[in-house]
Structure 1
Amino acid sequence: MRACVAWIVLLWALFGAQPATAQHDVDLEQWRAWYREAAASQTGSVMVGHMASDCGTCEGHPLSHGFLAVSNLMVADELWNPLEKIEIFNAWQPVLESAVAALPEHPDLALLRLGVQTHVPSILNYSNNTRADRLLVERALAQGHWSTDRIHAAFVRDFLMYLKSL
């Protein structure tokens, strides 16, 4: 897995990915699609590659940085070695938190963090914001935040229904 991530970084360095200069709706819709695909197929490494090629390290852009962090956290979930899982979690969880801190009321970031907090083992003690994030996501869905991205709105609705079933 480390070799895969190393190749992604190497390819990014060789082909000079351009940093994101603006977070256009088209970019956001694409990032959402990559997130849905990674969540459905449990292939976070594919999303890491897409995000790296789309925005490099995504530094300075909290929304893209949040999507990149979540893609790496999804990779951690796919690994078998618990020590590698913890290492990746400890590296990328603060990145996600910094993205959320920069845009604390952004529904997409709340959804990303809610997804991570729902799926990490309780031993990691990372579930402090689940209620607040769930309420923010529910409110955003009701107010039409994802109305221009109907596929993602359905994904969000389904995820909220899943949470209610837990």
Structure 2
Amino acid sequence: MIKDLQQTDNETLPMAYLGGLETVWAKHAVNPISKLKTFNKGKRKIEQAVQKEPENVEIRFIRLSVQKYAPSFLGYNKNIKEDLSFIQKNRQEIKSQILLNNVDKLLKYSK
């Protein structure tokens, strides 16, 4: 999956998913420095995707999911309220039932 996502040549949504995957993958790195490098690499990809498509609900959902569950000492939690508000306002634009179910679950546990 990682290799497939890496071959998408800067397509924004796959970039965001790859970033999300890398932030989660960081948990499995053995060396603490590797953990941080991997997490930061993923974080940068997510932020690039948000910069390129700030109105994309799915990308904002990815960032919210990562920020909500990232350890607070990493300091990657500055956009939680902003993304929650954006997703709630734009929820009706979601076409995928699977994504909508996941968004609803995250919103339910974010209250």
TM-score by shorter chain over 0.5: yes
Q: Which amino acid aligns with 1:155?
A: N
- How far residue 51 of structure 1 moved from its aligned partner, in angstroms, is 4.7
CA RMSD of aligned residues (A): 1.7
Percent identity reads: 25
| Structure 1 partner of 2:3 | 52
Q: Could you say which residue in structure 2 is the equivalent of 1:157?
A: 104
Q: CA deviation at 1:80?
A: 5.3
Unpaired runs of 5+ residues, structure 1, are 1-49
TM-score, normalised to structure 2, is 0.87
Higher relative contact order (CA 8 A, sep 6+): 2
Runs of 5+ unmatched residues, structure 2: none
The structural deviation recorded for 1:155 is: 1.4
CA distance in 2, matches of 1:118, 1:134: 10
2:87 pairs with 1:125:
no
* 1:96 alignment partner in structure 2: 46
After the TM superposition, list the runs of 4 or more consecutive aligned residues in structure 1 that deviate by more than 6 angstroms.
none
User: So what's the TM-score if we normalise by structure 1?
Assistant: 0.61
In our comparison, the structure showing a higher alpha carbon Rg is: 1
Q: In the comparison of the two structures, how many residue pairs are matched?
A: 111
Cα distance in 1 for partners of 2:62, 2:106 equals: 11
Is contact 1:57–1:65 with CA below 8 Å preserved after alignment? no
